[in-house]
Amino acid sequence: MTAKKGSKKSVVLTFDDGPGRVLPSLLDILSKEKVPAAFFWQSRLLFPQRPWKRVLDEGHQIGTHSTKHVNLSKLSFNEQYTDIAGSVEKLENITGKEIAYFRPPFGQYNNDTLAVAESLNLVPVMWRISSMDWELKNNPEQIIDNVIQHLEDGAIILLHELPQTLKALPNLIREIRARGYQFTSL
C-alpha cells in the first residue's frame, strides 16, 4: 500500500507502538500543522482513559499493531489469528470504530500473517521510509535526515511514539513541506 496520490506529491506519517506518553504532544503538533497521521497501536497499551477519542476526533486513523508486539512470523496461524483478532476486538470495543489497517510488528510477516489479515478484512500497511527513530534517542536530527533523504511520492513514513520523534516532528514536517510534499491519509 502507498499513500493516495493526487495532483501534488504526498506522503503519509505513521506512528507505531502506542498509545504512549508522548501521544498528546504528538497530537498537539499534528493539529497545529494540520497533518493527518495513522497510528498503529498495541492493544495491550490502550486503556479507555488514553486520548484515543482525540486521535479520531482530529481525523487520524487507528490500526492494529498486534496485542503485544511479538514477531508474528514465529507463531502458528492459530496463534497469529488469536493475537490479531484479539487486538482488533479490543481496539474496536474501546474506540467504537472499525479497525481496517494492520501493521505487523518489526515488519515481519509470513503467508499465515497475510491470510489472518485477509480473514479479518484488514489491509496490511508497511512503509517505504523508515526514520530509524527507535535507534536515535540522542540524535533527533538524524531522524529528519533519514526521512528527507528518501522522500518520494506516495511514501508511507515509519515513525514511533517516542520522545526523540516528538522533538524532531515539527522540523520534519517543515522539511517535507519545503520539498513540495503534502500529507495525506491511508
pLDDT at 4: 58
Q: Can you tell me whether residue 82 is helix, strand or coil?
A: helix
152, three cell numbers: 518520494
Q: Which domains does the chain have, with CATH numbers?
A: 10-183 (3.20.20.370)
pLDDT at 11: 98
17 is catalytic: no
1, three cell numbers: 500500500
Active-site residue, from 60, 65, 133, 160: 160
pTM over 0.85, yes/no: yes
pLDDT at 50: 83
Q: What is the mean pLDDT of residues 97-116?
A: 97
Least Cα distance to 100 among 12, 185, 13 occurs for 185
Active-site residue, from 16, 17, 83, 133: 16
60 is catalytic: no
Statement: residue 6 has pLDDT above 80? no
103, three cell numbers: 501493521
